[in-house]
Chains A and B, each alone.
Chain A
């Protein structure tokens, strides 16, 4: 019996380069059993490469990764980890059911094919050729394939790509139900909304490294809010930072930059009580947070 103290994922100093491109530079990550973790980052952040190393699809240049205390390949052989990948191909000439029969036959123990068809919501298209299925249906088939071994860890790379709203909702409710049974889930996404809604924990990745890692609410605070810029001669940084709803303030010459959770109240205050002009309000987004965090990381 595997003791509960063994982490589902334990990665230390993982690194991978492709030629001159350093895709992943020193990723340390420990995920406990039962956690739902969102791997959030822009395209090219190194999410997919990190996932490939966790699955043993790409050997790391440096560092090490274990899945339930085993090498990735050993964990896959036992059906302990499965994945829905962007790159995973399907045989177009097989039917949906044949694809699942074939995949199921390869594992020592599996759930019944009828059950995973039902869970992925594709029972009605079981007899259809894969090549005739829509992108969303093929994605659900990959999900069904990943469920066959009833894995302890499920890794999903942009899992809902190509799914419609209904499919997306059914997909996530199935994932949620599984997490209650102790299944660990790690999913990569570049949608903050998806990470916010479904993950317990968000790991922010940018330029090949983890730039922030914390509970979903904390990470969301970091990303939410607005940026207010204005021209204000002789501004006092400390005074601005002390204003209610201001999280962060900086001054460059006559230009002030304030990070706020209530831009309306702040703008009203600035316009009525100070000489501020040329007010410009932009919403904070993932890209700007990534940029900020990454440049902090570089300067630190």
Chain B
């Protein structure tokens, strides 16, 4: 018995100097609503070690490009032959796949907010100074960073595969695709997350993304679809942002309809997020 008591006593002595002082009641509030690099770093680390996230956002787009895009590397996209410096169909598919990765990352991020709410983590965070909006912001930034990694990974594989684009084309397609996919699909993920509570949100959004990617012409060119499908496709959320992202490839500029499509869906998803969030918090 004595041998048991001795270590316990020495333990106590170790902790006493640091905690013997009386509990202080004079406290500070952290700045920036609780935004911290530690939280952002941990969010990123979580994504990078989640095998499913890596497969769907990084490996899948790269594989799809290699399977579908790479064989088309000599097929010209415009009237200018690839040998004469014109863009190839492979470049078109590369941009599409990079966007798919960014969309996947953004949507999963939005949905994870809802999943973590269902698991009670948000409630746990409400016992800290962290502002709930800052929480969503940190997760959005982490999701966008992973989306950027997906875009860069696909582009690196594309460049290594021999795709030739001007510096302006590389940067403008990548940047536009990344930012638009992040904006529209983070809000979509958030909206579905608040609409479908719990763990189902992730499954529902994944399915929605695949369907929207198909109908929006990410896996299959809209111009090859039957007429009525083309009409429908033009009104779906992937269509607008992908038209805008790929516009620099052809140099023809973009249709105002594509811009209107992207803006409209962004506003719709944002409004939906706000609406369902309010309904959800009212329910308690």
Q: Mark B116-152, 1 if CB is under 8 A from A, else 0.
A: 1001111111111110000000000000000000000
Give bound CA distance, A292 to B11, whole Å: 46
Give bound CA distance, A103 to B23, whole Å: 19
CB contacts (< 8 Å) of B1 on chain A: these are: none
Q: Are A115 and B116 closer than 8 Å at their CB atoms?
A: no
With A91-B116, A94-B42, A119-B15 in contact, do A105 and B36 touch (Cβ < 8 Å)?
yes
CB of A57 within 8 A of chain B? Answer: yes
Give bound CA distance, A258 to B15, whole Å: 51
Interface size, B (range): 35 or more
Give bound CA distance, A217 to B21, whole Å: 30
Q: Are B26 and A2 closer than 8 Å at their CB atoms?
A: yes
Nearest CB in chain B: distance from A132 CB, A: 14
Nearest CB in chain A: distance from B162 CB, A: 39
* Cβ-neighbour of A182 out of B12, B22, B121, B130 (below 8 A): B22
* Cβ-neighbour of B20 out of A119, A181, A183 (below 8 A): A181
With A101-B42, A106-B36 in contact, do A78 and B120 touch (Cβ < 8 Å)?
no
CB of A24 within 8 A of chain B? Answer: no
Nearest CB in chain B: distance from A52 CB, A: 9
Q: How many residues of A contact B (CB 8 A)?
A: 50
Give bound CA distance, A151 to B128, whole Å: 11
Q: Are B23 and A98 closer than 8 Å at their CB atoms?
A: no
Which chain A residues in 164-207 approach chain B with CB under 8 Å?
177-178, 181-183
Q: Are B129 and A108 closer than 8 Å at their CB atoms?
A: yes
CB of A253 within 8 A of chain B? Answer: no
Q: Mark B32-61, 1 if CB is under 8 A from A, else 0.
A: 001011110010011001100000000000
Give bound CA distance, A146 to B49, whole Å: 27
Nearest CB in chain B: distance from A65 CB, A: 16
CB contacts (< 8 Å) of A68 on chain B: these are: 25
| Chain A residue nearest in CB terms to B25 | A2
Which chain A residues in 99-116 approach chain B with CB under 8 Å?
101-109, 111-112, 115
What is A's interface to B at a CB cutoff of 8 Å?
1-2, 18, 55-58, 68, 76-80, 82-83, 85, 87-94, 98, 101-109, 111-112, 115, 118-119, 142, 145-146, 150-152, 177-178, 181-183
Listed by A's residue number, 7 A-B pairs whose Cβ atoms lie within 8 Å are: A94-B46, A101-B38, A103-B128, A105-B36, A106-B129, A142-B124, A152-B24
**Contacts beyond the supplied A80-B27, A105-B38: 10 A-B pairs with Cβ under 8 Å:** A2-B25, A78-B28, A82-B127, A90-B120, A91-B119, A102-B42, A105-B36, A107-B129, A142-B124, A177-B12
